[in-house]
Amino acid sequence: MFFINQMDFSILNFIAAHFHYAWLDTLMPWVTALGDNGIIWILLSAAFLVMPRYRKVGIGIVLALLLGFIICNLGLKPLAARLRPFEFNEAVHLLIKAPLDYSFPSGHTEASFAAVTVLFLYRLRGRFVAMILAIAIAFSRLYLYVHYPTDVFAGAIIGICMGLLSVYIMKRVLAKEFTATTEMKLDQNKSNM
């Protein structure tokens, strides 16, 4: 664990020393705010939910976000109880309000990658733009010194898994619904003959 912490701080301090510019100091709080409470992905799923053609994508994103929230925020964060990096390095001047929950894993990253995985599995146009946004949100958590690289990496892996699980569940439910509807129509046709 000591080696992992040492590596995490090395990466964070490298980013702090070599990537901080005034324009990024202005931009990164905005980028990270898009991921606050998964708001950008909730809005995206809401937009899909109102369009019949994309409703299953919207449901898939909502399901992925819910699964991720349960696993990350209700499960892993309190279990790991990892303090955030700025709590150990008081020299860091935060550009955003200090988050109050634990650090591991990154919920912003998890939600972003969960939603983007659903978009990729349904092959939606714009998925690459969404991926760039997800990566930017994940990087913003490092830039702002509120997450360790391992938090972000774990959040991305969990998010991808939640997206895969969500689409798997959706396809199983839709397959059963299609089978049940088809059987009902066949039964109706037989009784009409």
DSSP 137-155: HHHHHHHTTSS-HHHHHHH
DSSP state string for 40-51: HHHHHHHHHHTS
Cα separation of 41 and 12, whole Å?
Answer: 26
Q: Are 152 and 141 in contact (CB under 8 A)?
A: yes
Alpha-carbon distance of 110 to 129, in angstroms, equals 17
Question: What does the alpha-carbon distance between residue 57 and residue 77 come to, in Å, rounded to a whole number?
Answer: 28
Instruction: Report whether pLDDT(186) > 70.
Output: no
CATH number of the domain encompassing residue 134: 1.10.606.20
Q: pLDDT at position 193, please?
A: 55
Phi, psi (deg, nearest 5) at residue 153: -60, -45
User: In this model, does residue 108 exceed pLDDT 90?
Assistant: yes
What tokens were used for 140?
């913003």
How far does CA 135 lie from the centroid of its chain? 10
Kindly state the tokens that stand for 48. Answer: 């899909």
- Average of pLDDT values for 109-118? 98
Closest CA to 137 of 55, 58, 36: 36
Closest alpha carbon to 166 in 177, 154, 174:
174
- What's the predicted TM-score (pTM) here? 0.87
pLDDT tens readout for residues 132-141: 999 999 999 9
Structural domains counted in the chain = 1
For 94, the 3-state DSSP assignment is coil
pLDDT value of position 190: 59
Looking at residue 11, its pLDDT comes to 95
Find the domain containing 119 and state its range: 2-192
